[in-house]
Amino acid sequence: MPAEVWLDAAGLVRRVAVSVESADPVTAASGKHAWTIVELWDFGIAVDITPPRPDEVVPPHEAYQDIPGSGA
């Protein structure tokens, strides 16, 4: 899985880009390509996070099923 990582002068990760190429589940043909990009900032800031309940979480391959053109 190809990825690119951008670091700042302090060595902190500021951006992560992951390239995914999927196969059609019926024909096994590849060629559907997508990038997922995450940007990070505000390191060291206090946060209050409540994790989602298990019924609110899905694996990535399920999360992308309903995207038009995804082939899923």
What is the dihedral sign for C-alpha 45, 48, 51, 56?
Answer: negative
Structure tokens at 66: 């309903």
Residue 51: pLDDT above 80?
yes
Closest C-alpha among 60, 16, 20, 17 to residue 40: 16
How does pLDDT run across 13-29, given as a tens digit for each residue?
999 998 877 665 555 55
How much is the average pLDDT of 41-60?
92
Question: Mean of the pLDDT values across residues 35-62?
Answer: 91
pTM for this model (two decimals) = 0.56
